[in-house]
């Protein structure tokens, strides 16, 4: 941002903001993926990314029009696969953010990427652009599992990508892993986990597969998702719909039609899935990682917890740019349209305009009461205010309280009793007293050092616990 503007924004209205930037493009859609992502030709990418830059600019004007001086503490480029686009666009996007916002010198700037989508030259560009944290989607080190997921890489490609990132100087890397995959055993999962630990990434995100509607996996497993998770007595196993613990001989049969059904690899049983969850905690804890959120682990020897994600969980203000991206400012939530054509058409034809600085001559000799700078800023910011949205809500106090509990209890530190009262003007016991007493007696929550937290037992049944925290209308 221009130094003159920075000086002007150094007021009591400074607002810490995080920024999420959605780049929806990928090489190929994975079988389990229900994110807003898709492959696209270069001309489509160019059209979208030019529109994205314009939206980022107008967002800054909109915040200033609300009287805020945005101070950016974190930026997250997600997708999709941001590393699948030409690295020059990553540079342009981050240059646009810095030109229009006051970005903290120590801001956490993360970019998601997949193995095989970046070269040593790309990593060098990312580093020079200011990216200081990478999130690499490994998911598994078992090539059969990766193939089943529809990933574009194998284990060897992941190792090469991770090594190239280290050689480029990246010293804050997250690795994404998935458990409860089709055909996955507890042993194959822990082999992957131990293989990743040997690399000593600073952060590990370990998620359990959820099969969502609208994905190839859902079409493949919809007849068995709600069944008894492939117990040996399951009728579907008997009928040959699902292979029970497939061995080498099963591979030839897998995928073949039998009548009107197709043989598929079984998902792990509930017992196996629970074992994977327990092994994740135990193995990572024993190897110098601590869990700070249900699915996220950071290395103990540094400050490697993800600031950006913690801002979400603590309900801090953030802006979301790009199709489908969500933002929240002052408990007002916006979600952009998820239609790329509507999105691009709206921003096309709008000139890129920079925010005026103090040395701009806006004097109107005919009318001293007219402030052209303010008029220009209102005109710029109005384009952001009227952008096409999928959702727009002003959250009620009730909804804010519920979110504070739902999101805060995901974190190991829990919900601050004092912060709750400061935000809402009511003690937490006055709102949730009876419910918290009940959950405490059941051993599902505890109060420690001014924070309310889920116990280990509570974490295992977190969905049930959180449903208890819904408030009556």
> How does pLDDT run across 209-237, given as a tens digit for each residue?
999 999 999 988 887 665 444 443 344 43
pLDDT score recorded for residue 242: 46
**DSSP per residue, 181-225:** -TT--HHHHHHHHHHHHHH--SEEEEEE----TTSHHHHHHTTTT
- Provide the 3-class DSSP secondary structure of residue 455: coil
Residue 234 or residue 286, greater confidence = 286
Contacts of 118 (CB under 8 A, 6+ apart): 83, 126, 161, 164, 165
pLDDT score recorded for residue 44: 97
φ, ψ dihedrals at 208, nearest 5° = -95, 135
C-alpha 48/C-alpha 348 separation (Å) is: 9
Q: Is the pLDDT assigned to residue 363 strictly greater than 90? A: no
pLDDT score recorded for residue 123: 98
Average pLDDT over residues 449-463: 93
Average pLDDT over residues 441-448: 96
Average pLDDT over residues 73-99: 98
pLDDT score recorded for residue 263: 67
pLDDT per residue as tens digits for the range 94-107: 999 999 999 999 99
pLDDT per residue as tens digits for the range 110-137: 999 999 999 999 999 999 999 999 999 9
pLDDT per residue as tens digits for the range 235-254: 443 333 444 444 444 445 45
C-alpha 189/C-alpha 177 separation (Å) is: 9
* pLDDT, averaged across the chain: 86
Residue pair 146/139 in contact (Cβ under 8 Å)? The answer is: yes
Q: Is the pLDDT assigned to residue 60 strictly greater than 80? A: yes
pLDDT per residue as tens digits for the range 410-424: 999 999 999 999 999
Label residue 26 by pLDDT band (50, 70, 90): very high
pLDDT per residue as tens digits for the range 167-199: 999 999 999 999 999 999 999 999 999 999 999
pLDDT score recorded for residue 468: 94
Average pLDDT over residues 202-213: 95
pLDDT score recorded for residue 3: 45
Contacts of 237 (CB under 8 A, 6+ apart): 230, 231, 244, 266
Average pLDDT over residues 391-408: 96
120-149: burial string, b at 16+ Cβ within 10 Å, e else: eebbebbeebbbbbbbbbbbbbbebbbebb
pLDDT per residue as tens digits for the range 306-348: 999 999 999 999 999 999 999 999 999 999 999 999 999 999 9
First-to-last alpha carbon distance for the chain, in angstroms, is 45
pLDDT score recorded for residue 72: 97
Label residue 365 by pLDDT band (50, 70, 90): very low
Going by C-alpha positions, the residue among 369, 400, 357, 335 that lies closest to residue 60 is 357
């Amino acid at each position: 941002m221009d130094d003159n503007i920075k000086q002007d924004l150094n007021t009591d209205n400074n607002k810490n903001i995080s920024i999420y930037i959605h780049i929806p493009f990928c090489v190929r859609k994975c079988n389990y993926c229900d994110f807003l992502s898709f492959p696209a030709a270069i001309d489509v990418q160019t059209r979208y990314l030019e529109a994205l830059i314009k939206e980022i600019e107008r967002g800054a004007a909109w915040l200033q029009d609300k009287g805020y001086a945005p101070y950016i503490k974190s930026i997250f480029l997600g997708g999709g696969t941001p590393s699948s686009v030409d690295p020059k666009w990553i540079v342009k996007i981050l240059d646009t953010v810095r030109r229009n916002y006051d970005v903290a010198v120590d801001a956490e700037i993360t970019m998601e990427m997949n193995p095989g989508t970046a070269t040593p030259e790309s990593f060098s560009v990312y580093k020079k652009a200011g990216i200081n944290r990478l999130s690499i989607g490994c998911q598994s080190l078992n090539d059969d599992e990766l193939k089943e997921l529809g990933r574009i890489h194998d284990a060897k490609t992941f190792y090469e990508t991770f090594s190239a990132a280290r050689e480029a100087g990246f010293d804050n890397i997250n690795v994404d892993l998935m458990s409860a995959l089709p055909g996955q055993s507890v042993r194959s999962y822990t082999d992957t986990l131990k293989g990743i630990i040997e690399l000593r990434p600073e952060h590990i995100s370990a998620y359990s597969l959820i099969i969502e509607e609208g994905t190839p996996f859902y079409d493949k497993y919809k007849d068995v998702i709600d069944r008894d998770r492939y117990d040996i007595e399951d009728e579907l196993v008997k009928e040959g719909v699902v292979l029970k613990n497939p061995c080498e001989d099963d591979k030839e049969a897998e995928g073949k039609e039998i009548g009107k059904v197709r043989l598929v690899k079984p998902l792990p049983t509930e017992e196996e899935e629970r074992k994977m969850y327990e092994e994740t905690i135990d193995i990572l804890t024993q190897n110098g990682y601590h869990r700070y959120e249900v699915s996220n682990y950071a290395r103990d020897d540094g400050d490697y917890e993800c600031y950006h994600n913690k801002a979400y969980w603590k309900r801090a203000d953030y802006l979301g740019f790009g199709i489908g991206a969500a933002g929240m400012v002052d408990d007002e939530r916006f979600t952009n349209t998820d239609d790329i054509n509507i999105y691009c058409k709206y921003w096309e034809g709008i000139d890129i305009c920079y925010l005026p600085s103090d040395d701009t001559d806006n004097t109107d000799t005919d009318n001293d009461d007219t402030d052209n700078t303010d008029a220009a800023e209102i005109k710029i910011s109005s384009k952001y205010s009227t952008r096409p949205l999928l959702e727009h809500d002003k959250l009620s106090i009730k909804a804010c309280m519920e979110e504070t509990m739902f999101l805060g209890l995901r974190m190991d530190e829990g919900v601050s009793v004092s912060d709750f009262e400061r935000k809402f003007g009511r003690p937490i016991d006055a709102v949730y007293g009876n419910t918290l007493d009940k959950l405490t007696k059941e051993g599902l929550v505890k109060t420690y050092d001014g924070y309310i937290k889920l116990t280990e037992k509570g974490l295992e049944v977190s969905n049930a616990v959180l449903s208890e925290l819904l408030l009556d209308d």
